[in-house]
Amino acid sequence: MKIPGFRPGKAPESVVRQNLNMEFAKEKALDKVVNVLYPSILKEASIDPVDYPAWKMISEEEGVKCVFSFEVEVMPEVTLGKYSGLKAEKKSSEVEDKEIDDYIRSVQEEGAKMSAVARPVRSGDIAELNVYGSVGGKPEPRLSQERLPILVGDNRIAPGFDSNIENLEEGASAEFSIMLPKDYYIKEFAGKEALFKVTVLKVIERLLPEFNDEFVKKISSFESVDAYRQDVRNRIEEFKKRKNEDELKDSLLEQVSASSKIDIPSAMLRRETDAMLGELENNLKRQGLTVESYLKSRRIEMDALRRELSGPAASRVKAKLVLKAVADKEKIEFTEDDFAAELKLLAKDSGSSEAELMNREGVREYIKDYVLRRKALDFVVENAKIKEK
C-alpha cells in the first residue's frame, strides 16, 4: 500500500490496518482461498459437480483456521433401464425414381422463366393474392396478407387452400373455410376452422427449361441426362442413409431414456435451456432475424419461451446422462487417439488452431464427454435387434 510518510512495504501493521478496509480485504482473501482449495476438495471427496458451488463461512477468527460450508449440485444417480437387445426398425435407403424426378424438377424450377398470363389459375402457377383470414369470426392478422405470392400446389398457407383458388381468373374473389390441421404451425389455430376471403391480383405462368443433355451441361459437370440422374440418385441415397441412421439412433436412445430413472439437477436443466436458446438465436441470425423479433411475432415473453424449451431440454439432459451411465457401466474407454482426432475436427470447425484449443480450460473434458456418449450410443445400436423396412 502507498501510505503518506512511508515507503511502500515499510508502514507498520497498525498504520496499514487504519488505512485498509478490512472487510474488503477479508472477502478478497477468502475468495482466493476458496478458488485454490475447491478443486482439491472435490477430488478428496470424490464429488462430481454440475455447477459452481455456493459457499459460506461457518466460523472465522483471526489467527485461527477458518471453517467453510460448500453446497453444490452433483451428478445424479442414474437407474439404467434396458439398453441392450432393444428392438427398432430402420427405414430403407433405396431411392425411388419419383424422388429423382422431384429433385430434377426443383432444379428446373430454379431456371424457370416467368410470364404473366390472362387465364385462370392452374397448379404450378404463381398467384399474387390478397388474403384475409379469420378464426371464430375474429379477423386474424397472422392469416392475412396483401399482395402475397404463392406457388399454387404447395399449400403453404394451409392444406387444401390452393385448390380453392384454382380456376379463378385475375380480379376474381372467393370465400371458403378450411379445417386447419392439428399440427398447424400456428399452435393457437391448430384443429380450428378458418375462413378465408381471397382475391386474385395476378396469374404468373412458369415456363420450365427442358431437361436434356444441353441443360445438364449448363448446370453440372456431367455430359448426359443419364449421368446426371445417377449422380442425383447417389446423393439422395447418401442423404437418406445418414437420415435413417440418425432416426434409428434417436429411436433407440428414446427407448433407453424412457426406461431409465433420473432426477435431473436444476443447474443442468438451466444450462441446457440456455444452450437451446443459443441454438435458436444462431438459427434466427442466419435468417436475418433476432430473438426479440421472434418473440414479438409469436406474441410471447422470454419466460414463456424458456418454459417451452424446458421440456425438450430435460429430454436432452436425460439422454446425455443415460449415455454417460452406459459408458461407465460398459467401461467404455477414451483414448489419446480419440482426443487427437476430435481435437483436429474441433479446430477445423471452430477456425482455431489445435494449440489454441489445448490451452482453453475444459476442452479435454468436453471432448471426452462427447466421445464417450457417442461410443455409448454406438454400443446401444450395435447390440440392438434392428429390422429393415
Which pLDDT value is given to residue 90?
94
Residue 62 has pLDDT above 80, yes or no: no
pLDDT tens for 151-176 read 999 898 999 999 999 999 999 999 99
Percent of the chain with pLDDT over 90: 70
Q: What is the average pLDDT across 307-317?
A: 95
Which pLDDT value is given to residue 298?
87
Residue 60 has pLDDT above 80, yes or no: no
Residue 67 has pLDDT above 90, yes or no: no
Residue 180 — pLDDT band, cuts 50, 70, 90?
very high
Where along the chain do its domains lie?
A: 13-71, 114-207, 243-388
Residue 63 has pLDDT above 80, yes or no: no
Residue 148 — pLDDT band, cuts 50, 70, 90?
very high
Which pLDDT value is given to residue 68?
83
Which pLDDT value is given to residue 368?
94
pLDDT tens for 109-121 read 888 999 999 999 9
Residue 149 has pLDDT above 90, yes or no: yes
Q: Tell me what the pLDDT averaged over the chain comes to.
A: 92
CATH label, 114-207, candidates 3.30.910.10, 3.40.50.720, 3.10.50.40, 3.40.190.10: 3.10.50.40
Q: What is the average pLDDT across 75-97?
A: 94
pLDDT tens for 3-56 read 888 888 888 888 888 888 888 888 888 888 888 888 888 888 888 888 778 888
Q: What is the CATH number of domain 243-388?
A: 1.10.3120.10
Which pLDDT value is given to residue 239?
97
pLDDT higher at 239 or 358:
239
pLDDT tens for 322-363 read 999 999 999 999 999 999 999 999 999 888 899 998 888 789
The model's pTM is 0.70
Query: 25-34, 117-126, 137-146 — which is least confidently predicted?
Result: 25-34
Residue 310 has pLDDT above 80, yes or no: yes
Q: How far apart are CA 316 and CA 304, in angstroms?
A: 19
Which pLDDT value is given to residue 144?
95
Residue 57 — pLDDT band, cuts 50, 70, 90?
confident
Which pLDDT value is given to residue 29?
84
Q: What is the average pLDDT across 374-378?
A: 97
